[in-house]
Amino acid sequence: MIDAADHLGWYWGVSALAAFACGSIPFGVLIARSRGVDLRTVGSGNTGATNVGRALGRRFGILCFALDAAKGAAPVFVAGWIAGILGMGAASMSAAAAWGWLGVAVAAILGHCFSPWIGFRGGKGVATGFGAVLAMWPILTIPAISAFAVWAVVLGLTRIMALASMAGALVLPATVLAMAIGGGEGTASLRGSVPFLAITGLIAGFVIFRHRANIARLRQGTESRLGTGGSATRSDDADADTT
């Protein structure tokens, strides 16, 4: 049954399309619109949780982060659950099935970053990526929690969201590698972890690429910190946010 399931490419393809559709829901825009605000015309114009928090307040930013994480987690969790029924569960997952499951996670992130509902624009993928990776239990749950912990610590110390997001992203593949070498649950060998190492590395690289403007400002010492206030009008730099 497992061998047959490994060849169900159509299943992973359909799951990835569903994940992209789910990830494309622009919760930030919808939350702001419910408050009479066009999120794309305030702050940085970004549709992620950071700009929602800037425009509407912290509680709305947290709500947006939670919803963006959920839209990444839901399709990945459902795809993994059904895969288990088909004999492709985490306990017996082959490399082919692993690539398919990871493709679902990537699709959800891309849906968030390039939502067709708002002109193929979106956030940086941090919240959605966190949810997607967290839902890959038990294989990537510990790396996701580790990445979140580092994100929280760096954010608390520096108040720089971009720096915290990139630090958390880098910890993700590093933790997968450490678990693979150490024989962590779900990553018993480095060879068996290649798909998860490759995709988490790709996600980390994508997050950092999406923060390239932030990196330039960090080098110049001009990157904004949380709690320092912000303009209520549209910024010239649409890359100022991080989620």
pLDDT in tens, 97-149: 888 999 999 999 999 999 999 999 888 889 999 999 999 887 888 899 999 99
**Position 230 in a domain:** no
**Position 226 in a domain:** no
Distances (CA, A) of 181 to 72, 177, 189, 191: 28, 6, 7, 10
Render pLDDT for 180-216 as a digit per residue (tens, 0 to 9): 887 655 444 555 678 889 889 999 999 999 899 899 9
Please tell me the pTM assigned to this model: 0.81
Residue-by-residue DSSP string for 75-123: HHHHHHHHHHHTT--GGG--HHHHHHHHHHHHHHHHHHHTBGGGTSB--
**Position 111 in a domain:** yes
Distances (CA, A) of 222 to 51, 64, 160, 225: 18, 26, 11, 9
Q: How many domains does the chain have?
A: 1
Cα 153 from Cα 82, distance rounded (Å): 35
Helix (H, G, I), strand (E, B) or coil at 136: coil
User: 128 lies in which domain range?
Assistant: 2-220
Better pLDDT: 2 or 86: 86
Q: What phi and psi, each to the nearest 5 degrees, are found at residue 195?
A: -60, -40
Which pLDDT value is given to residue 232? Answer: 43
**Position 233 in a domain:** no
Render pLDDT for 29-84 as a digit per residue (tens, 0 to 9): 999 999 999 998 887 778 888 889 889 998 999 999 999 999 999 999 999 988 88
Better pLDDT: 219 or 8: 219
